[in-house]
Structure 1
Amino acid sequence: MMNWIEVRVHTSQEAEEAVADFLLSEGAGGTATWDSSVLKKDWDTPFGEIFALAENDYPDKGIWLAGYFSESIYGDDLLRRIEEKTRGLAQFDLDPGPVTIVTREMSEESWAHAWKKYYKPVRVSERLIVKPVWEEYSPSPGEEIIELDPGMAFGTGTHPTTTLSMKLLESVISPGSTVVDVGCGSGILAVAAAKLGAEDVLALDLDPVAVEQAKANVALNQSQNRVRVEENDLLQGIDRRVDVVVANILAEIILRFVPDLSRVLMKDGTFIGSGIIRQKEEEVVQALSDAGYHVVERLQEGDWVAITARS
């Protein structure tokens, strides 16, 4: 049986998704997060035990974000690249946090099974429930289940930028909607759009690892008939018009494709942007305004902001 090396990075909540991307792009077989904020958060779950967790497992501030690497690719060069990439987030106005890195060796069985007890079904919006594949959950009328395998995905679907996106999607998706998900990552927003009634969803990501993971999650949720996943650089070359464009991505990246929205969105279409750190919100809103869009809804959790905009 193969042994794995757990590379655990002490970073900030706002850097979580970016650092998870770094770990996965470097070859991590999966990631896990210990976020100090969950100890104080009141989650709406069908099982009270989901966050009855041991405080000693969590940092006093920020998060521990772990990536799991096979012994064949682990080494000092890997650790150096992860540290450099994490510290480099400061140039995007993301606080990288302490950037302390610790490692430990663990068996494949320990990695694959021991952490599963921490993940239970979680309601992320009025209708959407995210649940790990190994848990049972009987939906009530109107509820839609999104299945995830957190061990091999980009997280558990409960990061604030993701939950804010899904809440806004729920308010704008109607049966038959057409959607483009820019920078789709795990594909969870594309799947959510399909579960909410979207008829045709195009999920785009430049990272081939993300594309394959998104395809796996689309298949896991039996959404292949509504969701297509393609490797693409933002909205470049997209010549179709859709009802909704959604992007859970850094503000700097949103700014790069705002000028393309008028080409891709229907005249009365909707843009949903998340992954926007509060300090960058005004810049994004101004860019949207310059492109002829105005904000019609805004949600915030912590330092993260998500907005809905229309022309």
Structure 2
Amino acid sequence: MKYIKLVISIQDEYQETLISELLEMEFDAFEQQDGRIITYVPKERFSDVHRERIEGILRAYPGDGFIETEEVVADRNWNEEWEKTIVAQNIGKFYVKPTWQRGEPDNDSILLEIDPKMAFGTGYHETTRLMLKLLPSVIEGDDIVLDAGTGTGILAIAAIKLGADKAFAFDIDEWSITNTRENILLNGVEKKVAVRKGSLETIPSGSQYDVILANIERNTILDMLPKLKRLLKEEGRMLLSGLLEKDEPSVTQKLEDLELKVKEIRQENEWIAYSVENRIV
């Protein structure tokens, strides 16, 4: 079968958003690299209409666009190729693995079995690693947790395995809701994690949370923060990521304006994560 290979230049923080749109256009194989996405689509499913639509989407991200397109002949199991790139690894207190990988955690590690949808939420992006490493410092027994923009559900599941009592997770993408439900079942926490499609409007009325987790991106976080603050209990804690080093001034100022105290900022490569607590007035 003949495929069209596209190489698209796009900033890392926008890659998953673009991929979700490409999935709707029947692209089905992706490779994420620093600053670009490589994707393939069967030749008969790609036309000038598709290209124009992609170009229109990319105009929302100044400076980004196609590097090249190329016709290739391939007969490959794309999912099998992609699965080879997802390997088990230790992340902080957790041992994260897909079900198709062999391996067991050591005595001190907590097993997280996460089967991500293709190209999404593998759990190995810097922001997810930062959140997982910070999570044990904010979770206490019987906590009620909110996971905003849950992706694969990995953070909500990890919170429960650390001792939290319940978690509510939401995401705007249908693939995320399906994948999160699958991973909840894989980890045996279906009685403790609820998930809904949508955004803040899906949260049950009157809810208050001990811990709020938001691994999204800067603009969404800045927009959500006032609402998240109102959902946080008096001595609540919050972890924020999906943020770049350059985002620190604007995010720190927003937290200061909302009287949220920064306990720690942790960094991996150009990505950062915040550990925040609600100030007691």
TM bucket (normalised to shorter chain) is 0.7 to 0.9
1:78 to 44, 50, 54: 50
Q: CA deviation at 1:150?
A: 4.1
After superposition, the C-alpha distances for 1:138-178 in whole angstroms (9 at most, x for unaligned) are 11113122223345361421111111111121221123221
Deviates more, 1:70-79 or 1:243-252: 70-79
After superposition, the C-alpha distances for 1:212-242 in whole angstroms (9 at most, x for unaligned) are 2222222233321221111222367543011
For 2:199, the equivalent position in structure 1 comes to: 233
Q: Percent identity?
A: 31
CA contact (8 A) 2:99 2:115 kept: yes
CA contact (8 A) 2:29 2:79 kept: no
Q: CA deviation at 1:136?
A: 0.9
2:220 to 246, 250, 253: 253
Alignment of 1:18 onto 2:17: yes
Deviates more, 1:188-197 or 1:271-280: 188-197
Alignment of 1:162 onto 2:128: yes
1:160 maps to a residue whose letter is E
> How far apart in 2 are the matches of 1:188 and 1:109?
29
CA contact (8 A) 1:182 1:235 kept: no
1:207-246 pair list within 5 angstroms: 207-234=173-200, 238=204, 239-246=206-213
Structure 2 segments unaligned to the other structure (5+ residues): none
Q: CA deviation at 1:119?
A: 2.6
Q: CA RMSD in A?
A: 2.8
Alignment of 1:121 onto 2:88: yes
2:134 maps to a residue whose letter is L
**Structure-2 change in CA distance of 1:155 and 1:66 (3 Å):** farther
CA contact (8 A) 1:25 1:209 kept: no
CA contact (8 A) 2:170 2:202 kept: no
Structure 1 segments unaligned to the other structure (5+ residues): 36-61
Q: Aligned residues, how many?
A: 277
1:173 to 115, 118, 139: 139
**Structure-2 change in CA distance of 1:234 and 1:21 (3 Å):** farther
Matched position secondary structure for 2:84: helix
CA contact (8 A) 2:114 2:183 kept: yes
Alignment of 1:194 onto 2:160: yes
For 2:98, the equivalent position in structure 1 comes to: 132
> How far apart in 1 are the matches of 2:235 and 2:73?
53
**Structure-2 change in CA distance of 1:278 and 1:21 (3 Å):** farther
**Structure-2 change in CA distance of 1:111 and 1:168 (3 Å):** same
CA contact (8 A) 1:24 1:67 kept: no
Q: Give the TM-score, by structure 2 length.
A: 0.85
> How far apart in 1 are the matches of 2:187 and 2:83?
20
